[in-house]
Structure 1
Amino acid sequence: MRRRALLGRDEERRVLAALVDQAVAGSGGAVVVLGAPGIGKSALVAEAAAQAASSGIRVLTAVGVESEEHVACAGLHQLVHQLRDGIDALPGPQRAALRAAVGLVDEAVPDLYLVGLAALTLLSDAAAKAPLLVIVEDAHWMDQASLDVFGFVGRRIESDPLVMVAVARDTDDRLGCAGVPVLHLEPLTDEVSGELLDAVAPGLGQHVRQRLLAEAAGNPLALTELPAALRSVGGVYALTPAPLPLTERLERTFTARVSRLPVDTRAVLLLAALNGDGTMDECLAAAARMLARPVDVGALGPAVGAGLVEGRGMAFRHPLVRSALHHAASAAERQAAHAALAVALEGQPDRQAWHRAAATAGPDERAARDLDSTAGRALRRGGVAAALAALTRAAELTEDPSARADRLLRAAELALESGRVDVVAHLLARARSLDLSVRDRGRAAWVAVVRGEWARGEGVATAELAELAVEIAAGEPLLGLRMLWGAMLHCYYGEPGPAARQRVAAAADRMPVDADTPYLVALRAYCAPVERGQAVMESLTRQLDRSSEDTEGDQLLGGAAVTVGAPALASRLTARPMDALRAQGQLSILARALCVQAGAAARLGNVRAGQLAAEEAAELTRETGQPLLHAMVNAIRAQLAAVCGDPQAEVWAAKAEGAALPGGVRPVLAIVQTARGHAALCQGRYGDAFGHLHRVFDPADPAFHPWLRFYAVAELAESAVRSESAEAARAILAELAPLEVLTPVPALLCGLRLARALLSPPDLAEPLYRAALDAVPADWPFERARVHLALGEWLRRNRRPAESRAVLQAAREVFDALGASAWSERARQELRTAGASSPGQDPDAVDQLTPTELHVAQLAAQGLTNREIGERLYVSPRTVSTHLQRMFPKLGVTSRGELATVLRGPMTYAEDVV
């Protein structure tokens, strides 16, 4: 039968066989097999499993179950249970996270990504003993937390003898969307369908045969089951005048068999269908309670005879049998079955809570409280989606309006966290239909603003949210800060106007928390970096001198430093939490920190460090589902490419712009235009450069940003001078000049002073250039080299070539060291014009490495082992080894001990800023 089911699947069989062969050879991979119910997914994977077993590969299986899709980490638990002997060998933090996730200890999971790393390490360690094939069956019914972990592992399988094959219906491509390669299983061809039908039902009349082929539509299960249904009492369902959808038709073929079974058998089967992968004893006990008489295992005999279950256990022949049993039962029968299971599952509170809720038709506070508790446990295990489902159902069972509003808003907050924007809107609408307290109105407003309503909201609404935040903060400071953060997002990402920004800044001043609280410092920086710039800079400096264990706070402070124009300070602050974020598996915050690092490095002209941070940030923003942040990273990639003269600059800029334009995300659009302006300026396209940069300064343009424009002042002035647009630039400088006395923002001060020198008459320029040099902080070498280049050009044009050469040489050396190739080439051209030879820079061997290889090399140069590097980068130790083997020939080294010398010492993201 298995051979018949695989007719016409030669290409798909080759794909899976090749994966199995990879594992035998020492490497691996992952794939998701997608297709309609009955299309032959399980049969295809079963053959791959048989091939693997015959090749000495250990096969592990986890199965998604519909009734447990809201039980956090239920699927992961199945897999981990089969490898439980290896848990104790995991590194401490990974071991603790994995044990908490699967419920072996009652502790909170620090972060689901740390669980993912633990699962990867567990599988990698097991694969080192014997190659592994992991099969995830019915992934469309797998809980989201487990799928997140399996997706995390699947994306990272590379150098381990490990293969993961997931099977899902074509209506659920969560793993494919998570980055795991997909193998689509299409219907059989007409020729193969006819061959299969003739094999299972020979001798059919021509008319019936053609009708069956048409209705089966190339589905192997239909080709097998419809003829059987035709011969059975329920055969009327096989050929109806008005054809049903194929899946429903197939369910009916199984339903017809169910209806002929004894009462005890139907009861046990229904309970088994509703109880997921529960035990035989649980189902028999629930059946006895449901029928009020003893029921033993013999009740399953008729189901085996009817071809609905296989063997002596409760393994259904096909997942559609579960659906058939569900639809064959009345609503009252299903409720009674759930109620019986709720009693039988005493001691399993999560499964019990869902069955109790399913047995309830109207409001039931006990069932709602149980689901509320389930949501809390799911969150402790990292199961945000499971917690969201539990709270949503709990709200439906809640009669008290205040308690219902609380559960709806908590669910909306979880939906926001998991990126379910459509669900957020629905839950908010339900909550707002109730009579909300002041506190809950504030919570609803915060969710709405963070959801994205800042992009089209009004300044008045933003200011009102800020005022409400202050009111609530009197009793709940953290909630008040969070709400005020939502108002700030409108100020930073949207354009509510100066009046709204001033009211938000004033609200921040009135918050009843310490002035140096990172949240509050960042709030002031993002909504009023000029007016509050002095206080923010002082607070940031104090924070730099203090030890900190607040990883998220340090990331916020780093972002605040970039916003007040201090990128070197931002780089130092954001570097502090990196190791802790990696160790704790807080990849969402790590992605934000890396984005700040990359942005700071781009503004500092530190290309290599910026590319390294941006590459990892791009991967993690995809991993953690942060599309807005991913657009920001692409904009920063465009900046870095512009600095080093890479033509990819426009590619990255276009990607970022495409993602940011629909929502009017101003910071991304401003960075995109700044990158384009830099690229055009270095290419000598001065009119284009001015056009790009001017948009960042035009309040009517979507790319306008009141703070990020500070980083483009000097480039605007230079492009204006060289494109006969000097008067327009002077007007912008006149507008910005009053801000200089209000704030110590380094980016603004440096930009204004160099711009004045560039726009001044020749006889007044030199002291202005010297003043611009004096304004550059010591930790901003790129900006100093930028002024040196401008001064050198002025000296050469004013017939002082000897003096210009020294200044231009200093600029070129800094640009070379930073990897700012586009600016290096400009300095070289000026040197040649000034009469000095300036050969091109030889490429550095390190530049041949990919960003990932460079990161691995840096960590290895610091003396970390492969296992320790894997923990830092969230890959397996064997993958680290592969990266090292690839990079040694590129660097011309033969051992790890030589890496430090080749890399000129271990470099971190925060290094080389001075």
Structure 2
Amino acid sequence: MVTASSVHITVLRGRDDERRAIRDLLDGAGGGALLLQGEPGSGRSALVGYAHRHAADRTILAGAGLTDEAALPYAGLQRLLDPVRDRAGALPVAQRRVLRRALAGAGCPAGQRLTLSMAVLGLLAVTARDRPLLCTMDDVDLGDRPTAEALAFVARRLCHLPVVVLLTGAVDTAPGGIPTRRLRPLDEHDSRAVLTDRLPVPASDPVVTTLGAVAAGNPQALVDLAEALTPAQCRGEENLPTTPPPDGALGRDYRARLDRLTDDARHLLLLAALDHDVDAATLVRAARATGTAIEALAPAEVAGLVRVEAHGVTFPQPLVRAMVVATAPLAARRAAHLVLAALLDDGDHRLRRALHLAAAAEGRDPALATELEAAARDDGDPDARSTALHRAAELSVDPARAAARLVAAAHHAWSAGRPHRARLLVQHLPTGLPGPAVTGRVELLRGEMELRCGRTPAALTALLAAADAWAGTAPDLALEALLRAGEAVCFAGDQYRYADVARRARALCQTGASPRTELVTAHLAGVAATLRGDHEAAGPTLRRAVVLGDRLTGPDLTPTALTGAAVAALLVAEDGPAHRLADRAVALARVRREVCDLPRALELRAVAEYWLGRHETAAETSREGLRAARDAGQTTWAGVHRGMLAVLAAVRADRASSLRLIRELGEEPAPGSRPDALARWALAVLDLLDGRPEDAAARLAALACPGTGRGQVTVQVMATPYLVEAAAASVHRPAAVAALAVFDRWAHSTASPSRRALSARCHALLAPRGSQAAEEGFRAALRWHPPGAGAFERARTEFLFGRELRRSRRPRDARRYLHDACETFTRLGVAAWAEQAAAELRAAGESVGGPDRSAAQLLTGQQLRVAQLVAEGATNREVADRMFLSTRTVDHHLRNIFHRLGIRSRTQLARVL
């Protein structure tokens, strides 16, 4: 039994709802009850302790169910009520008699159980006369059943008594009529917090991620793992445990639960636990082969430890499987592996059979190592392949073969989303690797892991080293390393270095290359030409890459090749094909379980959806990408998805979500990196919404310097429409003009109507106010906007055109466009943009409803204070003196206040406030 004394969880992470429910009961004037359900180690006892600490002036009666007393009727009730037995004299005679009889061990006749239950309720009521009462019974399901039934009866009848009853039990403890809360596994954030609280030294991020996955959100498992970890394991220098320690608090609890089963039941549980794919038929055969009846497993099924169905055997509680294996003796595990291996054929189950044989092997076995390697090639699960090749390396006699197998095992571990395991496998490689091929594979793996999870400069160095190692023997693999190197260059904002990557790629060109190699070559050449502004050369090459991406089949069809084609499509503004290719990459990565490729593929799909105007869909894709990046340990790409989500939230005027995501990024993104640029873009959009165009322009102008190729050029190109809008009438206008020149060269090299629409809109914004050029630019933009697609950008153009007409003293002409913009923004659910359009409509003389939000929500803190003083009758000079501002600043604030509230006079301001 996991008791409060053994589960040392003092800070209850992730249990806010349960603590709130307990406090609500304790703070209430009446009584009530609560049942907390959870698996062992989920924190049930810790919550009972929390209730005791917050009981204030309540009398506390506490008990716990004991397995040793489960066969003794009312044993638990006797221990719970023993401190107040002397108050039983206040009960009616019949109740007093039956209560004393039950607590004395004489039991209770069936016909008097209601009387006994009423006696227990009455005794608690008598005890609560002096002070309110808290009565707790931990692990109520482990003790005797009559006690549980009596307490359930009482818990249903407390509404008029100052008595709180708190019960805890397993997930299948469910007496009717009692409010129940199920303790769920901790999420990633809370799991990290528990580990951080407990680890002896600060741990690296991959270590924390791996331990969180091992614990499966169980608080006690996290505590046990943290207490068992060595400093070297914390630093990621040694292998991490794959299960919670068997001698920890949770391990002891599971050992006690398993010890209550028969030997045959434990044996069958071990057979089921050692093979994740075992089905009911195989388990029956395994039982028969060892002289055991399958019926022996019934007690474990009744206890909820395992569930056997026709299609497979499952363990409802995530840690049960691991603890069954961890607590079994070595000899029992070895014998069980051999039994399972004998039942599996070497055709459909070749790898499973080989793994069981390898788990039971003693010493080196080169034949079995060869069989594992061959079986791994036939299996599509990279995690299983990694396990098999790692074990094959351990069984190998030849050091060169062992090293090659270790590298392959690390590669598959990375593909399966286990970067920490991949790093450790690479670290354990012997010095003097066998040949440049293995060296190149190691450097490619290191480079890709650094790109996705670590330091971009180190990634670039490793990837270029991989390309050099393969240049003479495997040019196709060298090109793949250069593809990743180019990605690293762009991620870091060092696009000027892409020329060197492209130069290396040109030296590797070969005739008769495979379609995938041809695609990578076209991609590298096309991206290099795009980054140097040579769109005439880039366009045909990139379109060739898109065509090749659509034609990939067989071994050439990989998620990496498809994402390369998707990038090419985005660079020539073919948004539909880009989305299709990225979506195919996502689907392929999932089918092959190549988790490492998902975050990048989902990023490109989200970018395509942004350009297609599907902002909600793009946000959902980015959320999916964020989850995939976290699961795969790809911290840098988690930052990319957070940045993209922040931009999408800002564009949709969801200030709170955008700022939260930017805060989550923290200081991790390196200055100039893609996540950093996306965060700055998001803040700029919020600045624009808040009426701070100069701040917005300053942020966006600093994203890149197109002339030098430094910074995030591609992000700045995407954000150019916002930069031009913000900088049109500010000191940053030259930067906007320069950025628009880059955008124009790109937009006009494509066949994209939406890019040309944005270009025309930007030119209209930079034209003199009220000029013919401005009007023609806006009208051209509206003609270019594709019908039925990109409704948000069309509405933005209509809004900006209407504002231009209104400011040019053409309010009647402005209303039509502002009406359309307001209607579209409202339909899309972007309230802040709709409010701006409504404010412009009011300024154009249209009678429309006031803003839905109060002035306090629409204005910044300083703006609201200025508005309040003006509404009270203060002049601008008086406001300036009282707020220690210049009159010019007050004038500026007042103009923004009028604009945001959709008013035109101080009288209207006083009325609004």
- State TM-score, norm by structure 1: 0.51
Q: Quote the residue 2:540 is aligned against.
A: 535
Is there any run of 5+ residues in structure 1 with no aligned partner, and where? 19-27, 51-160, 188-243, 255-264, 287-295, 298-317, 844-914
Max Rg structure: 2
1:875 aligned partner: none
Opposite residue 456 of structure 1, the aligned amino acid is P
Task: Please name the residue that 1:690 is paired with.
Answer: 697
Alignment partner, residue 367 of structure 1: 368
Alignment partner of 1:835 is 2:845: yes
Structure-2 residue corresponding to 1:425: 423
1:391 aligns with 2:389: yes
On the 8 A contact 1:392/1:411 being kept in 2, the answer is yes
1:602–1:639 CA contact under 8 A, matched in 2: no
Give the 3 Å change call, closer, same or farther, for CA 342–608 of structure 1 in structure 2: closer
Distance 1:584 1:516, change over 3 A: closer
- SS of match in other structure, 2:703: helix
Instruction: Report the counterpart of residue 218 of structure 2 in structure 1.
Output: 182
Aligned with 1:406 (options 393, 404, 407): 404
The match for 1:455 is: 456
The one of 652, 664, 676 equivalent to 1:644 is: 652
> Residues 296-345 of structure 1, C-alpha deviation per residue, up to 9 Å, x if partnerless?
99xxxxxxxxxxxxxxxxxxxx9999989969x9xxx999x899989978
- The answer to whether the Cα contact below 8 Å between 2:515 and 2:548 also exists between their aligned partners in 1 is no
Asked if 1:510 is matched to 2:509, the reply is yes
Q: What letter corresponds to residue 665 of structure 2 in structure 1? A: E
The structure 2 residue matched to 1:825, chosen from 835, 846, 850, is 835
CA distances 1:99-142 after superposition (whole Å, capped 9, x unpaired): xxxxxxxxxxxxxxxxxxxxxxxxxxxxxxxxxxxxxxxxxxxx
Q: CA contact under 8 A between 1:678 and 1:715: conserved in structure 2?
A: yes
d(CA) in 1 for partners of 2:826 and 2:7? 62
Task: Tell me how many residue pairs correspond in the alignment.
Answer: 603
The residue identity in structure 2 corresponding to 1:693 is L
Aligned partner letter, 2:702: R
SS at match of 1:419: coil
The 1-side partners of 2:447 and 2:544 are apart by: 27
Tell me, yes or no, if the aligned pair for 2:563 and 2:600 is still in contact at 8 Å: yes
Aligned residue among 709, 717, 720 for 1:713: 720
What SS is found at the alignment partner of 1:835? coil
Q: Letter of the aligned partner of 2:662 in structure 1? A: A
Is the partner of 2:644 in helix, strand or coil? helix
Correspondence for 1:868: none
1:739-776 deviation digits (Å, cap 9, x = unpaired): 6777778787665554444334447x542563465464
Residues 769 and 595 of structure 1, relative CA distance in 2, 3 Å threshold: farther
Write the distance in 2 (CA, Å) between the matches of 1:796 and 1:249: 73
Q: Which amino acid letter does the alignment assign opposite residue 437 of structure 1?
A: G
Given the superposition, is the C-alpha separation of residues 35 and 398 from structure 1 closer, same or farther in structure 2, using an over 3 Å criterion?
Answer: farther
Per the alignment, residue 681 of structure 1 pairs with: 688
Partner Cα distance (1:835, 1:164) in 2: 58
**Distance between the aligned counterparts of 1:361 and 1:815, measured in 2?**
70
| C-alpha deviation, 1:696, in angstroms | 1.8
Root mean square deviation, CA, Å: 6.3
Q: Which runs of 5+ in 2 are unaligned?
A: 22-34, 47-63, 72-179, 196-207, 224-245, 257-262, 276-281, 293-320, 854-913
| d(CA) in 2 for partners of 1:175, 1:670 | 32
CA distance in 1, matches of 2:252, 2:550: 69
State how far apart, in whole Å, the 2-side matches of 1:46 and 1:525 are. 71
State the AA in 1 paired with 2:695: D
Percent of aligned pairs with the same residue? 24
Change (3 A) 1:177 1:525: farther
Contact 1:466 1:504 in 2 (8 A): no
Structure 2 residue 800 is matched with structure 1 residue 802: no
Report the CA distance shift for 1:465/1:245 in structure 2 as closer, same or farther (over 3 A). closer
Shift of 1:35: 8.3
1:111 match: none
Out of 488, 491, 494, which is 1:493 matched to?
491
SS in 2 for 1:33: coil
CA distance in 2, matches of 1:718, 1:586: 42
Q: 1:345 touches 1:351 (CA, 8 Å); kept in 2? A: no
CA distance in 2, matches of 1:347, 1:443: 33
Superposed CA deviations along residues 343-365 of structure 1, whole A, max 9, x for unmatched, are 97896866775576567776542
Pick closer, same or farther for the CA change 1:618–1:462 going to 2, 3 Å. Answer: closer
1:538-597 CA distances to partner (integer Å, 9 max, x unpaired)? 448868999999795666644544455554654466567889999999988777665544
Structure-to-structure mapping, 1:771-782, within 5 angstroms: 771=777, 774=780, 776=784, 778=786, 779-782=789-792
Contact 1:697 1:704 in 2 (8 A): yes
Q: Which residue of 2 aligns with 1:770?
A: 776
1:562-581 matched pairs, under 5 angstroms? 562-565=570-573, 567=575, 570-571=578-579
Contact 2:494 2:710 in 1 (8 A): no
Cα distance in 2 for partners of 1:275, 1:245 equals: 19
What displacement does 1:447 show? 0.8
CA offset digits 1:480-535 (Å, max 9, x no partner): 55434322321332244424345337727936244897666665666654546412
**What is the CA–CA distance in structure 2 between the aligned matches of 1:166 and 1:417, rounded to whole Å?**
26
CA distance in 1 between partners of 2:440 and 2:221 (Å): 49
Q: SS in structure 1 opposite 2:702?
A: helix
**Following TM superposition, by how much is the alpha carbon of 1:411 offset from its aligned partner in structure 2, in angstroms?**
1.0
* In structure 2, distance between residues paired with 1:29 and 1:559: 51
How far 1:407 sits from its partner (Å)?
0.8
1:444 aligns with 2:442: yes
How far the C-alpha of 1:620 sits from its partner, in A, is 5.4
2:805 partner amino acid: L
The letter for the 2-side match of 1:823 is: W
Matching residue within 799, 802, 811 for 2:821: 811
Is the partner of 1:713 in helix, strand or coil? helix
Distance 2:457 2:421 in 1: 19
Alpha-carbon distance in structure 2 between the residues aligned to 1:831 and 1:516: 56
Amino acid at match of 2:776: R
Q: CA deviation at 1:413?
A: 0.6
How far residue 456 of structure 1 moved from its aligned partner, in angstroms, is 1.9
Question: In the aligned structure 1, how far is the partner of 2:447 from the partner of 2:462?
Answer: 10
TM-score by length of 2: 0.51
SS of residue paired to 2:653: coil
Q: Does the 8 Å contact 1:605/1:820 carry over to 2?
A: no
Cα distance, 1:799–1:399 mapped onto 2, change above 3 Å: same
Aligned equivalents of 1:525, 1:656: Cα separation in 2: 35
CA pair 525-418 structure 1, distance change in 2 beyond 3 A: farther
1:225-244 matches, cutoff 5 A: none
- Structure 2: how far apart are the matches of 1:425 and 1:360? 26
Distance of aligned partners of 1:771 and 1:808 in 2 relative to their CA distance in 1, 3 Å threshold: same
Look up the match of 2:661: 653
Structure 1 residues 450 and 525, CA gap change in structure 2 (3 angstroms):
farther
Aligned pair partner of 2:414 in 413, 416, 426 = 416
Note if contact 1:666-1:702 (Cα within 8 Å) is conserved in structure 2. no
How far apart in 2 are the matches of 1:674 and 1:589? 26
Query: Hey, what's the Cα distance between the residues in 1 that align with 2:464 and 2:677?
Result: 24
Structure 1 431/325 Cα, relative in aligned 2: closer, same or farther at 3 Å? closer
Distance 1:590 1:246 in 2: 36
